């Protein structure tokens, strides 16, 4: 009996040790810096949706700082953060960001059948300005718009995997009735910025390693809203690293992405229902764009 008990202890011990070695202590895994993260300056981490949420509407006492002076265009800053050390060749390849939103978030009208609501996003290269001690000495090129998709599909990673198959949360953002725009950010290769796991901690997150932070000034012009309506724009970050001798797709999971809530342009006012008309809309659209272009938006 004792010999049998001893045999079990001797044979089980290596198995337990092997299991711990392969799985690793849970605390250490939780502390690892994600390969990709996304952060919106001024955002609050929402523990219900597990994402960063930035409200640029009048619900935010600082809402005016999110307006481009002299226009009705919303502006905020987005950070794309990459731990380049986790790729064998030191590069996170072909990084892209998708911005998704409702196709028609509240404007139903019947006086102009030719008019289609639109959302225009522009992402101009910027820097962190040292916010929270996260210095960013390099300024990226402007993000390049690749496509606008209206068919209810989801963005695909470099290996062809749709985002919606990787996380149930992503199914809330990519489905029929949603639109998404995809932007190219290029390769991430630098190690010139301190980075950390931003989840629930920014700006006090300990700076545990170095990588690349690309900051972008995001400008949103929309005609899809009226009155007190708002538009929630969800952002996802993704693509690939070299792991071993093969490429491996990566993405900022739902704990490390973000949503910006933008208001209806104050110049757009619905005057009635049914066959009413929208006074001043054409003027608002022309003058907002002209003033934005004159200001240089960046």
Q: How many residues does the chain have?
A: 298
Asked if residue 21 has pLDDT above 50, the reply is: no
- The total number of structural domains that make up the chain: 2
Residue 162: closest CA among 180, 140, 138: 180
Q: Whole domain around residue 13: which residue ranges?
A: 1-31
pLDDT tens column, 26-65: 333 344 789 999 999 999 998 888 899 999 999 999 999 9
Query: Across the chain, what does the average pLDDT equal?
Result: 79
**What is the Cα–Cα distance from 258 to 184, expressed in whole angstroms?**
17
Average pLDDT of the segment spanning 76-104: 94
Asked if residue 149 has pLDDT above 80, the reply is: yes
**What is the Cα–Cα distance from 61 to 55, expressed in whole angstroms?**
10
Do 99 and 80 lie in one domain? The reply is yes
pLDDT (0 to 100) of residue 193 = 93
- Residue pair 190/90 in contact (Cβ under 8 Å)? The answer is no
CB atoms within 10 A of CB 280: 13
pLDDT (0 to 100) of residue 255 = 77
**More confident: 21 or 214:** 214
Do 134 and 7 lie in one domain? The reply is no
Q: Whole-prediction pTM value?
A: 0.79
- Reported confidence tier of residue 243, pLDDT bands at 50, 70, 90: confident
Do 213 and 124 lie in one domain? The reply is yes
Strand 44-46 to 36-40 pairing = unpaired
**What is the Cα–Cα distance from 91 to 58, expressed in whole angstroms?**
40
Do 261 and 284 lie in one domain? The reply is yes
Peptide bond before residue 168 is cis, with ω within 30 degrees of 0: no
Q: For residue 163, give both structure tokens.
A: 């985002």
Strand 92-102 to 230-243 pairing = antiparallel
**More confident: 204 or 200:** 204
**More confident: 190 or 225:** 190
pLDDT (0 to 100) of residue 48 = 86
- Rounded to whole angstroms, the maximal C-alpha distance in the chain is 92
Do 264 and 282 lie in one domain? The reply is yes
- Locate tokens 């003033």: which residue? 291
Residue 66: closest CA among 290, 265, 227, 211: 265
Residue 185: closest CA among 251, 115, 238: 238
Do 52 and 173 lie in one domain? The reply is yes
Asked if residue 13 has pLDDT above 50, the reply is: no
Residue 182: closest CA among 158, 222, 149: 149
pLDDT (0 to 100) of residue 43 = 94
Do 132 and 43 lie in one domain? The reply is yes
**What is the Cα–Cα distance from 217 to 67, expressed in whole angstroms?**
12
Do 24 and 39 lie in one domain? The reply is no
Do 219 and 250 lie in one domain? The reply is yes
Which has the minimum average pLDDT: 2-6, 125-129, 157-161, 238-242?
Answer: 2-6
Do 100 and 244 lie in one domain? The reply is yes
Q: Cα–Cα distances in Å, from 259 out to 101, 106, 254? A: 10, 18, 11
Do 3 and 141 lie in one domain? The reply is no
Q: For residue 276, give both structure tokens.
A: 């009413």
- Locate tokens 């008990």: which residue? 5
**More confident: 3 or 183:** 183
**What is the Cα–Cα distance from 263 to 240, expressed in whole angstroms?**
34
pLDDT (0 to 100) of residue 118 = 77
Do 168 and 278 lie in one domain? The reply is yes
Question: Which residues, in sequence order, are bridge partners of residue 82?
Answer: 36, 212
């Amino acid at each position: 009996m004792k010999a049998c008990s001893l045999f079990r202890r001797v044979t089980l011990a290596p198995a337990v040790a092997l299991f711990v070695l392969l799985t690793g202590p849970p605390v250490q895994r939780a502390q690892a810096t994600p390969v990709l993260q996304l952060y919106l300056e001024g955002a609050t981490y929402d523990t219900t949706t597990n994402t960063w949420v930035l409200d640029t509407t009048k619900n935010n006492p600082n809402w005016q700082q999110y307006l481009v002076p002299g226009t009705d265009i919303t502006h905020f800053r987005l950070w794309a953060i990459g731990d380049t050390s986790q790729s064998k060749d030191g590069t996170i390849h072909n990084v892209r960001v998708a911005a998704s939103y409702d196709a028609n978030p509240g404007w139903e009208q019947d006086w102009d059948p030719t008019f289609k609501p639109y959302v225009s996003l522009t992402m101009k290269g910027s820097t962190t300005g040292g916010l929270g001690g996260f210095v960013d000495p390099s300024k990226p090129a402007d993000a390049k718009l690749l496509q606008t998709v209206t068919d209810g599909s989801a963005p695909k990673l470099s290996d062809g995997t749709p985002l919606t198959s990787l996380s149930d949360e992503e199914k809330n953002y990519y489905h029929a009735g949603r639109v998404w725009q995809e932007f190219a950010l290029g390769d991430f290769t630098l190690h010139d910025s301190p980075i950390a796991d931003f989840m629930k901690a920014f700006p006090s997150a300990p700076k545990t390693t170095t990588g690349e932070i690309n900051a972008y000034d995001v400008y949103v012009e929309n005609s899809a809203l009226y009155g007190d309506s708002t538009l929630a724009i969800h952002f996802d970050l993704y693509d690939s690293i070299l792991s071993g001798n093969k490429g491996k797709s990566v993405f900022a999971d739902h704990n490390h992405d973000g949503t910006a809530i933008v208001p209806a342009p104050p110049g757009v006012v619905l005057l009635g229902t049914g066959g009413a008309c929208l006074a001043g809309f054409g003027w608002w659209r022309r003058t907002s764009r002209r003033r934005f272009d004159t200001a240089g938006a960046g």
